[in-house]
Structure formats: C-alpha cells, structure tokens
Amino acid sequence: DVKVTQSSRYLVKRTGEKVFLECVQDMDHENMFWYRQDPGLGLRLIYFSYDVKMKEKGDIPEGYSVSREKKERFSLILESASTNQTSMYLCASTGPEGVGGYTFGSGTRLTVV
C-alpha cells in the first residue's frame, strides 16, 4: 500500500523554537505539498515542490520554509515558531500529472506554547 508518512502525530514546541516537520512518500511522486488545516478554513497551501530542490510558495508561506533534498522527502520548517502557527499540518504527494489525486499523510498536530 502506498504511503505518505509524517514523522510525528503530535508536537509541542515553545515560541521562538525552530521546528522541523518531516514527510516521506514511497510512491516515487514528483510533487509534494504542505497544507495547514484550521477549523472553518479548510486546507490552505503553504509550499509545494515539483522536483528535488525545487519549491514554490503557496497561499500562506509567511513564517515557513521548505527543503527537498531527496525525491521522497519534503520538510517543512518553522524558522521561529509562533502561537499562531498552532495547527494541523498535512503533507501530500501526487504523480506527474496530478490527476490521480493526492495521497495525504495522517497529519501532525503542532501546538506552540
């Protein structure tokens, strides 16, 4: 069964900390995405990557950066965590045409205190 794996289900971090969220997919997908999910707002795209070392900003990139050094791994980085970044973070991947739909990870619930 194909999978997108997010390394942590729950994280609690302090304000100002640098936070790394890791995502790994085993489907050899070119495209990977980071979304955050907040009640009443649905999913909002933070960053995406369509190839190794390539990245593009989504709709809400402020306060975030990403890294994609290998095809299977896409990391989301919170340079200096703030309480308004408390959220559910979802990673997803899809193949070259994207038409198969996305495969999502189970999510990481991040709390910044």
Partner 1 sequence: AQSVTQPDIHITVSEGASLELRCNYSYGATPYLFWYVQSPGQGLQLLLKYFSGDTLVQGIKGFEAEFKRSQSSFNLRKPSVHWSDAAEYFCAVGAGSGGYNKLIFGAGTRLAVHP
Q: Which residues bind partner 1 (CB under 8 A)?
A: 4, 30-31, 33, 35, 40-45, 48, 50, 58, 90, 92, 94, 96-107
* Least CB distance to partner 1 at residue 72 (A): 17
φ/ψ of residue 28, rounded to 5: 60, 35
Cα 85 to Cα 47: distance, rounded to the nearest angstrom? 15
Of 14 and 99, the one with the shorter C-beta distance to partner 1 is 99
Of 53 and 99, the one with the shorter C-beta distance to partner 1 is 99
* Least CB distance to partner 1 at residue 40 (A): 6
Cα 32 to Cα 100: distance, rounded to the nearest angstrom? 13
Of 67 and 103, the one with the shorter C-beta distance to partner 1 is 103
* Least CB distance to partner 1 at residue 53 (A): 16
* Least CB distance to partner 1 at residue 16 (A): 28
Residue 26 to residues 23, 70, 89, 95, Cα–Cα distance (Å): 10, 12, 19, 12
φ/ψ of residue 19, rounded to 5: -120, 135
